[in-house]
């Protein structure tokens, strides 16, 4: 292991040479593998290099398509970027299942995003409240240059509220700020507004008489957006007569009963809920990645929402009433279709094009549907054939690739496992037998 100063100033070849010498000396093919993933188009490679820092290569994920999604009467083929076997196949299967049953219905409940100015104040609360009320308009006027273009698109600052948190942390207050960012995810816009709020707060406080008398002034700690956006909500659902859930009435009723019980288990049992929601995020993250959005922000906000009532719970819910099966999801999704990678990454632009160049609200709906479809497919498998039967058949190719199976071996393995259970050890035994 070796320490280095000025690594960022090295050229890309120099970075690779240093990494190879100090960390990959026992990996003779390291440089070949790193360069193997460079794009031959120098302009495109330079674009990728500038997405982040200290780049040495590109890390590829498969981009797939899940077709046949009927959403609010329109058909979509949804792009999904993901490496996990069976996710796209499962989503596609769910889409086809609901295609002749009315498809997916969606509704955006809200699009409000949130940020805070976190600050300390040791003085009288009433003085701070009076200061805030007399200066609230200045927070808005002093961000006018930042909000001008956003307001032209129909967005901007919605409100600023002073929150007293001193019961939870000594001297701690916040400006709770809400925003509408229309088709932009809006992180840079929100953070720019918040930092100006912080500057205005401290500047105006220096001349406020009640503070000056006691020489006690607000002290800004930080200004930052929140990835928890419980008012930026979307709902997606499917419904049909119970009789359409199976080939016979008995089969349909049994499926509805077991499916409903599986969802209720996820509603009350956190151990199950975490895995249940992870499956939902398989679909959601894949669309978020394909469309150039921040899946880490989405994950954090969604899981916080799943625990909003004090216990982590399912994001999906089900009812069976008057012989109608209804299955839905409600979750926060702060997405954008302009700005960031959406205007830079060629495959992101292509993915958004495949979706008809959606607005942020439309993308919220499509993404929620992908999560609901994924969950329906997963729970369907769990309460019928079991999750491993389909998953391991999809995983078979990964195992064969791991052991560098040739075309003949792959064909024989696929044929063999049509009637046998796929396990890692069973695949190895079959390959050894074929090779002997």
**Would residue 361 show up in a list of annotated catalytic residues for this protein?**
no
Place of tokens 């690594």: 7
Pull the structure tokens for residue 329: 């999801």
For 74-133, the DSSP string reads EEEEEEEE--STTHHHHHHHHHHHHHTTT-BEEEE----EEEEEEEE--S-HHHHHHHHH
Q: Which of 278, 357, 420, 433 is catalytic?
A: 278
Q: Which of 180, 183, 285, 294 is catalytic?
A: 294
| Backbone angles phi and psi of 193, in degrees to 5 | -60, -45
For 233, residues 6+ apart whose C-beta sits below 8 A from its C-beta are 108, 109, 110, 330, 331, 332, 333
Residue 177 to residue 201: CA distance in whole angstroms: 13
Q: Which residues on neighbouring strands pair with residue 327, listed in sequence order?
A: 238, 318
**Would residue 345 show up in a list of annotated catalytic residues for this protein?**
no
Q: Which of 15, 276, 303, 391 is catalytic?
A: 391
Per the document, the length of the chain is 436
Residue 347 to residue 81: CA distance in whole angstroms: 10
Q: Which of 84, 202, 299, 426 is catalytic?
A: 84
Pull the structure tokens for residue 240: 């049909």
| Backbone angles phi and psi of 68, in degrees to 5 | 70, 30
Q: Among the residues of 355-423, which ranges form H helices?
A: 360-383, 387-402, 407-416
**Would residue 278 show up in a list of annotated catalytic residues for this protein?**
yes
**Would residue 247 show up in a list of annotated catalytic residues for this protein?**
no
For 303, residues 6+ apart whose C-beta sits below 8 A from its C-beta are 277, 312
Residue 111 to residue 295: CA distance in whole angstroms: 18
Q: Which helix (H) or strand (E) holds 280?
A: helix 270-290
Pull the structure tokens for residue 108: 């955006």
User: 69-97 in b/e burial notation, b at 16+ Cβ within 10 A?
Assistant: bbbeeeebebbbbbeebbbbbbbbbbbeb
In a 10 Å sphere around its CB, with 0-12 CB exposed, 13-18 middle and 19+ buried, how is residue 108 labelled? middle
Residue 184 to residue 399: CA distance in whole angstroms: 41
- List the catalytic residues: 84, 278, 294, 391
């Amino acid at each position: 292991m070796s320490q280095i100063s000025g690594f960022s100033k090295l050229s890309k070849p120099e970075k690779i040479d240093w990494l190879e010498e100090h960390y990959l000396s026992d990996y003779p093919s390291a440089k070949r593998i790193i360069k193997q993933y460079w794009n031959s188009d120098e302009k495109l490679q330079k674009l990728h290099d500038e997405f982040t820092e200290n780049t040495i290569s590109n890390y590829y994920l498969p981009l797939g398509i899940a077709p046949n999604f009927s959403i609010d009467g329109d058909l979509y083929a949804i792009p999904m970027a993901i490496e996990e076997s069976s996710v796209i196949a499962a989503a596609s299967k769910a889409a086809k299942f609901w295609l002749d049953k009315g498809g997916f219905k969606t509704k955006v409940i809200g699009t409000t995003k949130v940020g805070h100015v976190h600050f300390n104040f040791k003085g009288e609360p009433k003085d701070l409240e009076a200061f805030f009320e007399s200066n609230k308009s200045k927070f808005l006027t002093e961000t006018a240059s930042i909000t001008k273009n956003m307001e032209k698109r129909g967005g901007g600052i919605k409100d600023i509220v002073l929150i007293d948190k001193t019961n939870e942390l000594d001297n701690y207050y916040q400006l709770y700020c809400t925003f509408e960012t229309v088709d932009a995810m809006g992180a840079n816009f929100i953070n720019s507004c918040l930092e100006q709020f912080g500057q205005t707060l401290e500047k105006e406080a220096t001349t406020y008489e009640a503070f000056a008398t006691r020489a006690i002034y607000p002290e800004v700690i930080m200004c930052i957006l929140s990835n928890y956006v419980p008012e930026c909500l979307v709902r997606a659902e499917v419904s049909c007569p119970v009789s359409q859930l199976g080939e016979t009435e008995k089969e349909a009723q049994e499926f509805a009963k077991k499916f409903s019980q599986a969802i209720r288990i996820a509603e009350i049992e956190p151990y199950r809920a975490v895995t249940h929601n992870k499956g939902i995020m398989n679909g959601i993250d894949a669309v978020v990645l394909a469309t150039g959005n921040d899946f880490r922000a989405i994950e954090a906000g969604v899981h916080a929402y799943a625990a909003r009532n004090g216990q982590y719970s399912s994001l999906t819910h089900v009812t069976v009433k008057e012989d109608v099966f209804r299955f839905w999801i409600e979750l926060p999704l702060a997405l954008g279709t302009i700005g960031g990678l959406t205007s830079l990454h060629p495959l992101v632009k292509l993915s958004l094009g495949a979706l008809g160049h959606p607005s942020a609200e439309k993308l919220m709906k499509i993404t929620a549907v992908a999560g609901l479809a994924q969950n329906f497919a997963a729970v369907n498998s769990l309460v019928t054939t079991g999750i491993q039967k389909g998953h391991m058949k999809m995983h078979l190719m990964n195992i064969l690739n791991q052991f560098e199976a040739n075309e003949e071996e792959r064909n024989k393995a696929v044929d063999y496992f049509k009637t046998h259970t796929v396990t890692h050890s069973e695949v190895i035994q079959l390959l050894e037998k074929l090779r002997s």
